[in-house]
Amino acid sequence: MNDETRIVQIGERAFAALRERGILPSPENYLVWYTHLAGENPALSRMIRLLEQNRDSFDAKRCRELYARYFLRSDMQRTLAEATDRIKGLTERLGDLLAHSGEESARASSRFEAAARALATTCGLEEIRRVVVALDAEARRMAAETRTLGCELQRSSREVAELQSHLERMQREVETDPLTGVGNRRHFDVALKRLAARSLEDGTPLSMMLADIDHFKRFNDTFGHDVGDVVLRLVAGVIRRGVRDNDVVARFGGEEFAVLMPGVELAEAAAVAERLRATVAGRRLRSREDGRDLGMVTLSIGLSAYCPGEPLDRFFRRVDSALYEAKQGGRNRVVVRDVEDRLVNEEELARAGRAGEQARASA
């Protein structure tokens, strides 16, 4: 049997298995059964055989559970799949409820119209009383229907709010470095694209710094990874507290951190970088066990500003080049490159800072 014939036969068996169990042959459900029948995932096949031996119900819900377990590899993928199912169920429930409410409203309208016609042709007090009683009963029934609809809408609103909160929490977790609590590389990449686009649109300045912990490997090799983790958390905390809330802080690599500062000119960003460097250098590490001095931590920092419209990789390379020069120049220092990739000295930065202050004062 050639491969093409085998694939067709397995596909037909997968469709037959889904039909036999009354399961919609969606791409996800088909993938579960095709993979099982083809023997491509032994763990999945063992689970399906176990479920069948235990005579567990094998429906669409069970298929979705298997798909989530064996084919969705990340927490975010699973969360999005669960969210999709919940939203689908929510919209179907609301659709049914609103359709039912519409049908009930139409029937009530017909009954009200019939009562109005009866009143127009009735002159006896007893007949009028019966019509009024019927109208009162109909009004009460419609009020109850309306309350039910209102309660269901409130419940659905709460579900949507919970779902939104869960997705936002997952998004934060996906973009957060678990050790230090600041953003990770993914968070940085997303923020850089967003802030660069804003800079291009309205001319908002954007500065970036890369900070690298000097001799970090020596801390790890000498004192162990636990001390290395303490150093990483220390530096992350100093940087996070030393910048504004709307600045983006991310752990970019093993011992490297990146900071994006929207709305900040290069001279001001250089002053921030120097404060961060001095703050970290002013800390000394001591062992919690015996109080011995573990030495000081220092940072080398590279800094530059974004030229609106330039490729983002060029912007990053310029900042990285400044960081490299800070390392080569003796470490524990800040090196700045301008948008033309020229090294900027302290005098030029001070002059640019004064010019910026004067411009803001006259604005």
Q: Is 99 exposed, middle or buried (0-12, 13-18, 19+ CB in 10 A)?
A: exposed
- Clarify whether 20 is annotated catalytic: no
CA quadruple 4, 5, 10, 15: dihedral positive or negative?
positive
The residues pairing with 248 across neighbouring beta strands, listed in sequence order, are 260
What span, in angstroms and rounded, lies between the C-alpha atoms of 76 and 82?
10
- Give the Cα separation of 227 and 234 in Å (integer): 10
195-231: string of b/e by CB count within 10 Å (b at 16+)? bbeebeeeeebbbbbbbbbbebeebbeebeeebbebb
Q: Of how many residues is the chain composed? A: 363
Cβ contacts of residue 93 below 8 Å, gap of 6+? 152, 156
CA distances from 170 to 39, 76, 81, 193 (A): 33, 7, 13, 21
DSSP characters over 227-256: HHHHHHHHHHHHHHHHS-TTSEEEE-SSSE
Is the CB of residue 342 less than 8 Å from the CB of residue 309?
A: no
Among candidate residues 20, 28, 255, 289, the one labeled active-site is 255
Q: How far apart are CA 234 and CA 226, in angstroms?
A: 12
β partners of residue 295:
285
Q: Which residues pair with 337 in a beta bridge?
A: 343
Task: For 30-177, list the strands marked E by DSSP.
Answer: none
Helix, strand, or coil (residue 299): strand
User: Which residues are tagged catalytic?
Assistant: 255
